[in-house]
């Protein structure tokens, strides 16, 4: 298959604004976008920057936008026309590479609930089966940051709202029977900021269930606290 492969390019050291390169590339059936990016950097343009690690749909590091829809480059299969761009709303280091560490660090600074102490124990702690079911669904995250990237509330208020991932972390703590948890106004406010648009659920490569569940859970917590 002949693919028209258009790639976002931006080098903050040299470029005043971003541009696009276009290549015609032969691809085989089932080939991934990551594989095409590798072909470009090997055979056409060695200055192209893109990130990957495992290459096998596990680590979430290669998340990009393909034809304006966020996905994992190692999972997404090629189509006749492809436009690849960095995840929207993320600080760009170069071309398709965004500053993941900054995003995670900033988020963890604002997610005070992450530092909740867990009771020490020397046996497995007791978790009710129904809670465990929910908990397992809440914790299969790739940390690809796609949910953060598509969240319209973050794009309006990047330094305020913790976003779907911050709320996911919060919901994990809520469901963890070892964590001594006090629901507070700050958490109320964070949950209240979500507009329930569902953009993050639909975009999550791990499946819709996780973020949807997380939100349901926090909303019920929120309603309980306001009663």
Establish if 71 lies at the interface with another protein (CB under 8 A): no
Establish if 91 lies at the interface with another protein (CB under 8 A): no
Would you list the DSSP string of 50-62? Answer: ---SSSSSSS-TT
Establish if 69 lies at the interface with another protein (CB under 8 A): no
Distance, in Å, from the CA atom of 132 to the CA atom of 128, rounded to the nearest integer, reads 6
Tokens 């309980």 correspond to: 224
| Helices assigned H by DSSP within 139-208 | 146-150, 152-156, 163-175, 185-193, 199-203
Which residue lies nearer to another protein by CB, 51 or 221? Answer: 51
Establish if 134 lies at the interface with another protein (CB under 8 A): no
| Angle formed by the axes of helices 163-175 and 185-193, nearest 10° | 130
The nearest distance, CB 88 to another protein, in angstroms, is 18
Distance, in Å, from the CA atom of 193 to the CA atom of 204, rounded to the nearest integer, reads 20
The nearest distance, CB 171 to another protein, in angstroms, is 12
Establish if 25 lies at the interface with another protein (CB under 8 A): no
Distance, in Å, from the CA atom of 57 to the CA atom of 51, rounded to the nearest integer, reads 13
Establish if 76 lies at the interface with another protein (CB under 8 A): no
- Interface residues with another protein (CB under 8 A) are 11-13, 28-32, 34-35, 38, 41-42, 46-47, 49, 51, 53-61, 74, 93-95, 97, 100-101, 104-105, 108, 114-115, 118, 120-129, 132, 135-136, 139-143, 169, 172, 176, 178, 206
């Amino acid at each position: 298959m002949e693919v028209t492969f258009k790639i976002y390019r931006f080098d903050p050291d040299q470029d005043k604004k971003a541009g696009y390169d276009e290549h015609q590339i032969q691809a085989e059936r089932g080939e991934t976008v990551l594989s095409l990016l590798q072909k470009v950097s090997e055979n056409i343009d060695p200055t192209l920057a893109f990130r990957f690690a495992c290459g096998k749909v596990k680590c979430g590091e290669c998340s990009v936008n393909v034809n304006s829809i966020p996905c994992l480059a190692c999972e997404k299969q090629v189509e006749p026309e492809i436009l690849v761009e960095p995840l929207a709303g993320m600080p760009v280091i170069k071309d398709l590479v965004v500053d993941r560490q900054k995003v995670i660090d900033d988020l963890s600074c604002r997610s005070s609930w992450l530092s909740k102490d867990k009771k020490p124990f020397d046996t497995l702690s007791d978790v009710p089966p129904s809670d465990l079911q929910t908990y397992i669904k809440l914790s299969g995250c790739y940390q690809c940051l796609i949910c953060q990237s598509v969240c319209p509330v973050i794009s309006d208020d990047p330094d305020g709202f913790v976003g779907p991932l911050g709320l996911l972390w919060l919901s994990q703590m809520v469901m963890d029977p070892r964590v001594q948890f006090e629901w507070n106004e700050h958490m109320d406010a964070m949950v209240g900021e979500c507009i329930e648009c569902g953009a993050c659920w639909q975009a999550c490569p791990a499946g819709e269930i996780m973020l949807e569940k997380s939100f349901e859970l926090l909303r019920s917590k929120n309603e309980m606290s306001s009663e």
